[in-house]
């Protein structure tokens, strides 16, 4: 049976779209397997124009891919969420997404803290605390949180981030079990340039 280029491309895209990992991506995929236009933003890190299974909350995807190791990390960056200085809408979006991720990956550990000594300690200072990096709201899924990670995932982290006093976004990081190997391969590539 002869395979045309179009048929092979269709099979490859279908395979990527059926991948079981986050956004249709799996550990070890090459940039070519991931698809979309890739723009290098740092050694081994690429912003990709699309993923096989996009989610409407996110508009930017960053992947880390090393030669001979493949995909080891995904960062999904959310769209801006308009919010009050109290951060109500951003916090609501955070806990809504946390619930969805807990359905998929089990329990997480949430940290919502204001650093000791911060002057941004009034309720209406919530967003300014984020901007000044004196307040943090994040959740971690890993062995310690007793998460039920699958598809070769080692950890997931989600954080609320500020864009301004009246807007913020959510970012979710997915680390695969090959991330350390990936980081070593990228560091070795960088060292070869010296």
SS (H, E, C) 55-98: CCCEEEEEEEEECCCEEEEEEEEECCEECCCCCHHHHHHHHHHH
pLDDT digits (tens, 9 = 90+) for 113-141: 999 999 999 999 999 999 999 999 999 99
What pLDDT does 1 receive? 43
Instruction: State the pLDDT confidence band at 20, using cuts at 50, 70 and 90.
Output: confident
What pLDDT does 19 receive? 59
- Residue 100 confidence (pLDDT) above 90: yes
Q: Average pLDDT in the 36-59 region? A: 94
Number of domains in the chain: 1
- Residue 150 confidence (pLDDT) above 60: yes
pTM score, two decimals? Answer: 0.87
Q: How far is CA 117 from CA 60, 112, 129, in A?
A: 35, 16, 11
- Residue 61 confidence (pLDDT) above 90: yes
Instruction: State the pLDDT confidence band at 35, using cuts at 50, 70 and 90.
Output: confident
Q: Alpha-carbon distance 12 to 8, whole Å? A: 6
Q: How far is CA 4 from CA 11, 17, 30, 34, in A?
A: 11, 20, 22, 21
Q: Average pLDDT in the 14-18 region? A: 43
Domain that holds residue 124: 1-194
Both structure tokens of 87: 């951060």
């Amino acid at each position: 049976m002869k395979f045309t280029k179009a048929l092979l491309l269709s099979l490859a895209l279908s395979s990527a779209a059926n991948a079981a990992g986050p956004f249709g991506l799996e550990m070890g995929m090459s940039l070519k397997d991931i698809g979309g236009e890739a723009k290098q933003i740092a050694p081994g890190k690429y912003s990709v124009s699309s993923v096989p299974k996009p989610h409407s909350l996110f508009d930017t995807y960053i992947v880390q891919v090393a030669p001979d190791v493949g995909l080891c990390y995904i960062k999904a960056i959310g769209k801006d969420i308009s919010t009050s200085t109290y951060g109500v809408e951003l916090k609501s979006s955070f806990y809504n997404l946390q619930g969805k991720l807990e359905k998929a990956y089990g329990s997480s550990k949430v940290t919502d803290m204001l650093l000791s000594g911060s002057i941004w300690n009034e309720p209406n200072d919530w967003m300014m605390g984020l901007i000044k990096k004196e307040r943090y709201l994040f959740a971690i899924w890993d062995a310690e949180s007793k998460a039920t990670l699958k598809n070769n995932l080692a950890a997931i982290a989600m954080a609320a981030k500020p864009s301004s006093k009246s807007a913020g976004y959510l970012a979710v990081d997915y680390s695969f079990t090959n991330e350390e190997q990936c980081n070593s391969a990228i560091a070795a590539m960088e060292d070869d340039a010296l």
